[in-house]
Amino acid sequence: MKQEIKVPTVGESITEATIGSWTKKSGDFVKRNEILMLLETDKASVEVVAENDGVLTILPGAEAGSVVKIGATVATLDTDAKAPAAGAAAPAAEAKPAAQSAAPQASQSTGTQSTGKDMPLSPAVQRIVSEKNLDVGGMSGTGKDGRLTKGDVQDMPAGGAKPAAAPAAAASGGDTKPAKKEAAPLVSAADVLAPRGQSKQGDKKLVAMTTIRKRIAEKLKEAQNTSALLTTFNEIDMGKVMDLRAKYKDKFKEKYGLNLGFNGFFVKAVVEALKTYPAVNAWINGTDIEYHNYYNIGIAVSTEKGLMVPNVKDADMLSIAGIEMTIRDLALKGRDGKITPNDLGGGTFSITNGGVFGSLLSTPILNYPQSAILGLHKIQDRPVAIDGKVEIRPMMYVALTYDHRIIDGKEAVSFLVKVKELVEDPERLLLEI
């Protein structure tokens, strides 16, 4: 029986998706629950698995990189086919002429490539291979089961290949580590110098935007075009929070298995400030103002695919430890490409931290349709006047960008002052007073 494999529904209002990569190829026998392909939507990556055992056939127009409609049939699964016996010859349809099989496969800009061990490439590796037009046929990687990793391909010259990696283990079965690669220079002379009399002004390339990157661009432009954006600033003395963190970070890690950061304190402070100023937790819906009696706080996460803002759901019901664990789990899902539409949807307010990259001050842009976003920045020792004397204190600039159509300046400034007061007095924050 031929079972149709359709593009699944992956979230409200999403009508199409991009096939990021196939992890199996036509003619492969797959087992139930094995991953067949990765779909990229405007919000996240979604894994599609086989519902039964069978032989896969990918339909024309469903190659990696193709944009497909939700509900469209992209492949079939012959569930009557049996798994090939161990050591059985490959089907005649897949045989290649001897002259062709001896030559390395040409790299394609689309489609899933495989290593010499016939391992599928991850979306991140596939993107680098396609952009550089690399030939990876016959290569073994340093990843699990010989898979190619980003580190294996990112330093390769465009259009080139490198020798297969050494075997991962000796014949005796003992574990060995991959040979250490020599660090390649970040910039070579060829990157900055052109032969005498030769110009490099025409050296450029076009790379198609990913679905997620296009959606990020659309949403940011929509926020600018729709909202009346204004930013107010303040600064926070981080001394007491840093002292509290230094005092309890070891016990915190021992109990919860993760480092005690600053995100939990800021999320807690934001929730208390939102309770005091509910318009900051609302947004405009047509000619109405939609107020929210729940607090889903988005935390901006930078990933290989672009900026994502997964949400800490019902943050008011979580402890600082619960908030930190939720943020860690969301960050890991974002890194591994496993963020779901549910993780990204439903946020009412967002926090972005440019300080982790060294930013001292910035004006964040709204995560539309939300009405406000808090920007955190680098903690820096600065001289401040305290009780008539100059002291060096660990200070952080904070910025609140808000939609002036719904939030007045007084509310925005008061909200930010409330966050400042709570973070500067963490005991009061923890007691929720």
Q: For the domain that residue 393 is a member of, what is the CATH number?
A: 3.30.559.10
Quick one: which of 57, 72, 56 has its CA closest to 19?
A: 72
The verdict on 19 and 159 lying in the same domain is no
> Binning pLDDT at 50, 70 and 90, where does residue 222 land?
confident
Q: Residue 369 falls within a domain, yes or no? A: yes
pLDDT at 8: 86
The answer to the question of residue 180 being in a domain is no
Q: Dig out the tokens for 177 from the structure.
A: 């580590």
CA distance 281 to 285: 13
**Alpha-carbon gap, residue 3 to 76, rounded angstroms:** 5
Classify residue 206: in a domain, yes or no. no
Among 95, 112, 133, residue at a domain's last position: 95
Largest Cα separation within the chain, whole Å, is 88
In three-state form (DSSP H/G/I as H, E/B as E, the rest C), the secondary structure along 264-293 is HHHHHHHHHHHHHCHHHHCEEECCEEECCC
Whole-prediction pTM: 0.61
pLDDT band at 145 (very low <50, low <70, confident <90, very high): low
Q: How many domains does the chain have?
A: 3
Q: Which of 80, 145, 191, 404 is catalytic?
A: 404
Domain identity same for 216 and 272:
yes
Contact 355, 326 (CB under 8 A): no
Task: Answer whether residue 359 is part of any domain.
Answer: yes
Q: 391 near 384, Cβ under 8 Å? A: yes
Give 163-191 pLDDT, tens digit per residue: 444 444 333 344 444 444 444 444 555 55
pLDDT of 285 higher than 70: yes
Domain that residue 338 falls in: 212-431
The mean pLDDT value of the chain amounts to 80
**Residues 291 and 152 occupy one common structural domain:** no
Per-residue pLDDT band at 154 (split at 50, 70, 90) = low
Residues 90, 111 within the same domain? no
**Does 31 share its domain with 63?**
yes
404 catalytically annotated: yes
Same domain, 130 and 66: no
pLDDT in tens, 367-416: 989 999 999 999 999 999 999 999 999 999 999 999 999 999 999 999 99
* % the chain with pLDDT above 70: 74
292 a catalytic residue: no
The reply to whether 297 and 228 lie within a common domain is yes
For 34, what's the count of Cα atoms within 13 Å in the CB-facing half-sphere? 17
399 shares a domain with 357: yes
Give the active site residue among 191, 243, 336, 408: 408
> Which DSSP category does 163 fall into?
P
CB within 8 Å of 139: residues ≥ 6 apart: 115, 116, 148, 152, 161, 162, 164, 165
